[in-house]
Every structure is written in C-alpha cells, then in structure tokens.
Amino acid sequence: MARVNEKNIQSSHREFLTVENFIGVWLDANINHRSDDYQSLFTQVQQLIDLIVPFTDPESCMDFISDIKNEKIFLIISGSLGEKMISLLQNFSQINSIYIYCDNKAKHEKWANKEKKIQGVFTKTQAIYDVFRRDIRQCQDDLVSFNMLSSAYDLNQSDQLFIYIQILKDILIHMECEPNSKLDFIDFCHSRYQHNPYQLDIIREFKNDYKQSSAIWWYTRECFISSMLNKAFRIHDIDILIKMNFFIQDLHQEIKRLHSKLNKQNHLTIYRGQGITEGEFQKILDNSNGFISFNNFLITTTDKNVSLVYACSARDNHGLVGVIFQINIDQSQAIFTPLHKIDYYSESTKEILFTINTIFRIHNIHQIENGLWEIQLTLTADDNEQLKNIKRLMQKEFEGKNEIEQLHAIMTKMQMPGEFESEYIETQTAHEHPVHEETEAHHADMETVQENIRNNEFESEHPVIAPE
C-alpha cells in the first residue's frame, strides 16, 4: 500500500496492517506531499516498508500509534514536533526508531542526541534512507520470536504453546497443497500491494520466474515474501501461513535436498546475534535445560564476530538485551544448508539456513558484559523420545481430524489471529467432524495429558519425566 491520509486511516488500518512487521509514520505539521524531497524519500522507503502513513496532526498520529499491536513503527518527525513530543514518544513500545528530519541539524542535535530511540538528525533524504534500511534489517532480526518447553514438562500454558506450534509446523510441512495455491497467493499479494509499484514489479517477477529450486533465493531477497512469512510465523497468522504453504514446503524441501549433499562427518558451531526484550530473556533464564524453537526459517552464521555486531547494535541502539546464541550441532541430525552462492545476494559465505521445525536445548547462559549475554544451545534430534512422547499425547486431542481440521483446532486453542475461512473446511474436509473445541473440554483434555505424563503413561525413570 502506498500511503493513506488521516481521514481514511481507520479503514485502512483494519484492512492492511496484517502482512508486514513494520509501519512507516511521517509526522510533520507542514508536510508537503508534492515536494521533490517527500516523493523521493517516500519512494525509497516504500521499498522497505509497504505502509507509510503521513500525519500533520500530532493527536491523530498518537491515536494511530496507540492502536498498533503487532507491528513496529519507524517514525520520521519534524525537528520542532520531535522536540516537543519526545518524552511522550519514548514511552510507546510500538515505536522502534525515530528519525528527525529538519533544516537545522545543529539546533536539533543538541537535544536529540540524548534520546535512545532517535537514530539521527537528517537534512537529506538519502541519509535517512541509508539508516532506515540498516535499522529495518536489525529489527527484522530482533523480531525473530521463539517458544520454549520447560525441563519440568508440567505442560503449563507456555509448554502447551510450544507443542502446538511444533504440530502446526509439522502439518504445514507435510499437508497437501492445492494445485492453484501459487496463483491464489499471487492474487492475494496483488490486492495487498496494489498501490506499491515497487513490490508489484517483484510480484510479477515471482509469478513468471518462481520454482521450487529458487525458494531460498526468494526467501533471502528483501521483498514481500520474507516480510509476510516472517510476520505470519511470529504472530501465528494461520490465514497467511495457509496462503504461503506451497512456499513453506518448497523452502523446506530445498533445504533438505541441499543438506543431503553435504559432508556430515563433523560437528559444527554456529552463532546468531539479536536483541530480545528483558521479559524474553527472563523466560530463557527460567527455562535453562529446557527446549527452544525459533518461529521462522532461522539464519545463523559461522562467524561469531558477525553475531556480536548484531547483538551489540540491538543493545546499544534499541535498549534490548543483546544475546549471542552459540549453537552446537551434529550435521547428520540437523536440516540446514549453507547459503553461499544460493541466496539472493550471493555474498553469504558464512551464513547457515535452518528449516522451520528445528529444536534446540538450552544449556549454559553467561554474561559477556553489561547487557550482553551468550546462550549456548545444542541441537535436539528429531527422534528425541521426550519430545516425541509429549507431542504424541497432545496429538490425541486431534484424533479423527484431517490436517485442515487440525489446523483449525490448533488455531482455536492458541487463540491465533484471523478468521479461518470456511471455504477451507468446506472444500477440503473429507469427513464431517466438529471443528470447534470448548474451553472446558480443552482444560479437561490437558489435565488428562498431564496426569498421564506424571502417573499413568510412563514409569518414573522414563525419559519423558526423568531429568537428564
């Protein structure tokens, strides 16, 4: 989408804020939509963020920002308004970065340099774009979410979510796609990006050139594919995941195919640097020796220094906890592939891409320096008995349901966003089964599962309940 004005922002908000992680907001009482500077910056930024919303009224702008729940905002603001409003703006967790655009750089740097969310004071549009692009990349990495399963295996709400998401990933990887799924997805993208010429050109290219062997190339390109898929996995948007299921399967199969050709004799240590919130970091501390799974196709590096740069940047520029995940893997067990010469930029000599359903165990956690931590993970094999038995018990809730009905049931239990369109049930369901799950029945089911785990299903020394 190109831009919307303050009069139609509410309808546009409902309709469009679902497919990408980021929103651009431009607040300036004297904004001139026809100026060369505005058009130049708007055109450049639209290559990175589809939705860009201009405001002249601060109150309308604040109302809009307050209503944002699942996206991060990149705010361009005039120097005069920025100085007046900075104390208020700093309190919005939705705002990731602020950029002061003005005529008098020296004047506004005096106050702006003291504020953490402000990424700079700019008088040239190209300078804003360069920093904007850097910050988008950093935020994309920092938004990679994860779920954990505690070592106690008591199947609390967090533990249940972990297993449900693993079941969801398994279904997405293995379920049969509709023959026209690619064309349906392209039609959907046309409707979502109808006012964005840059993305429409890429969508046309995707329609003409895409094939399974190019899935990694497309995933690593900065375009609508990765933006939509990463957000859908982050917020568990089942509608988008279904629309992109053909691509999810192609990407998984291509990683699997390339991995089969690798020399798997050696163990490998890889790294990932990113920022996480203090709450997320505390959950990791609380789940030491538990399991962790990232909610996307995870990109890592064999270069620890690269991961350190990302972790430090997240800590220093955005007030997050900088973490370096050090991951030790047995190459014969993980499904991954090096990205050298197969990604879009053909520069990723040290990057490694993991498939979506990879699980790790959390081991040592130690502080490197203030606000910077290293978290050591080890790969968990697909045949891990602890996970298999817990998953098997929870899958009993879905017995008698086909894959589409299972997805619907998981969505209900996880309270995912979006409406699961009835056409999926009507056109793909072979048998009639009720797809809704009552809350009370769900609690009863989970109590049974927990009781089986503790008392009935396994002996006290069984690996599901026995500590390592």
Q: What average pLDDT does this structure show over 14-24?
A: 74
Whether residue 10 has pLDDT greater than 50: no
Give pLDDT tens digits for 410-436. Answer: 888 776 554 444 444 444 444 334 333
- Across residues 326-347, what is the average pLDDT? 82
Over residues 302-323, the mean pLDDT reads 91
Task: Answer whether residue 445 shows pLDDT above 80.
Answer: no
Any bridge partners for residue 336, and if so which? 354
CA dihedral of 247, 248, 249, 253, whole degrees rounded to 10: 100
- pLDDT at residue 362 tops 90: yes
**In the predicted model, what is the mean pLDDT of residues 52-75?**
94
Name residue 72's beta-bridge partners.
22
Residue 459 pLDDT > 50:
no
- In a 13 Å sphere around the CA of 313, the CA atoms on its Cβ side amount to 20
Superfamily of 9-141 according to CATH: Response regulator (3.40.50.2300)
Cα separation of 256 and 337, whole Å? 8
For position 461, what pLDDT does the model report? 41
Per residue in 251-280, pLDDT (tens digit) is 999 999 999 988 777 789 999 999 999 999
Residues of the chain with CATH 3.40.50.2300: 9-141
Architecture of domain 146-165+250-468: Alpha-Beta Complex (3.90)
pLDDT at res. 154:
67
pLDDT higher than threshold 60 for residue 329: yes
How far is it, in rounded angstroms, from Cα 244 to Cα 460? 43
Lowest mean pLDDT among 88-102, 222-236, 449-463: 449-463
Q: Kindly report the number of other CB atoms within 10 A of residue 269's CB atom.
A: 11
pLDDT, position 334 = 83
User: Is the pLDDT assigned to residue 345 strictly greater than 50?
Assistant: yes
Number of H helices, E strands in the chain: 19, 14
pLDDT band at 18 (very low <50, low <70, confident <90, very high): low
State residue 400's pLDDT score: 83
> Is 26 strand, coil or helix?
strand
Shortest CA distance to 340 belongs to which of 230, 262, 422, 446?
262
Q: What is the pLDDT of residue 402?
A: 87
pLDDT, tens digit (0-9, with 9 covering 90-100), for 147-179 = 999 877 666 777 888 989 999 999 999 999 989
Q: Is the pTM above the cut of 0.95?
A: no
At residue 425, the pLDDT reads 43
Per-residue pLDDT at 132:
93
* Digit-coded pLDDT (tens) for 173-210: 999 998 999 999 999 999 999 989 999 999 999 999 99
Q: Which of 15-29, 36-50, 75-89, 273-287 has the lowest mean pLDDT?
A: 15-29
Tell me the pLDDT tens digit for each residue of 366-409: 999 999 999 999 998 766 777 888 888 788 888 888 888 888 88
Mean pLDDT of the chain: 84
- pLDDT, residue 454, reads 44
273 beta partners: 324
pLDDT the model gives residue 422: 43
Mean pLDDT of 235-255: 95
- CATH 3.90.176: which residues of the chain? 146-165+250-468
3-state SS, residue 148: strand
Residues 173 and 248 sit within 8 Å (Cβ to Cβ): yes
With 80 as the cut, is the pLDDT of residue 34 above it?
no
**Phi, psi of 244, rounded to the nearest 5 degrees:** -100, 15
Whole-number pLDDT of residue 171 = 93
Confidence band, pLDDT 50/70/90 cuts, at residue 5:
low
* Residue keyed to tokens 């009781």: 451
